[in-house]
């Protein structure tokens, strides 16, 4: 196979093979052409309905995952805010202790 243009040749061969295969299937089918077309139409409708159902399920799953992600995010946000507040309180307490020690040392000096 040559390095340039090989994809187009493959696609053309694939397309020709699909057409020939489809014609052979119609010619060798045990049913009449009308029955075969009817069956193909029914299967097409069935596949379309299944695809629609899968689409609805996928959309619902995505919405569920999005909601779960939002809940986890809110929980984490609350934990972070709590940790920040605790850190501020600890820093303020430490500052007050240090200021108290400095004032005590200055008074003793």
Q: What is the pLDDT of residues 22-50, one digit of tens each?
A: 777 766 767 677 887 888 788 889 888 98
Which domain range does residue 73 map to? 33-108
User: Is 97 part of any domain?
Assistant: yes
- Structural domain contains residue 1: no
**CA separation for the pair 28, 89 (Å, rounded):** 84
Domains in the chain, number: 1
- 5 lies in a domain? no
Look at residue 3 and tell me if it is in a domain: no
Query: Is 8 among the domain residues?
Result: no
Average pLDDT, the chain: 85
CB 10 within 8 A of CB 2: no
Q: What does DSSP assign to residue 3?
A: S
Q: Return the pLDDT at 60.
A: 94
86 vs 7 pLDDT, higher one? 86
Residue 27 resides in a domain: no
- Is residue 78 domain-resident? yes
Task: Indicate whether 86 pLDDT > 90.
Answer: yes
| pLDDT level of residue 71 (50, 70, 90 thresholds) | very high
| Residue 7, C-beta contacts closer than 8 angstroms, at least 6 positions apart | none
């Amino acid at each position: 196979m040559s390095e340039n243009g090989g994809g187009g040749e493959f696609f053309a061969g694939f397309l020709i093979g699909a057409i020939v295969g489809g014609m052979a299937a119609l010619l060798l089918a045990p049913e009449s052409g009308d029955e075969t077309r009817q069956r193909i139409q029914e299967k097409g409708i069935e596949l379309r309905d299944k695809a629609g159902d899968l689409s609805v399920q996928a959309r619902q799953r995505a919405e569920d995952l999005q909601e779960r992600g939002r809940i986890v995010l809110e929980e984490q946000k609350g934990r972070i805010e709590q940790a920040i507040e605790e850190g501020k309180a600890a820093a303020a307490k430490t500052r007050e202790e240090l200021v108290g020690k400095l004032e005590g040392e200055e008074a003793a000096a």
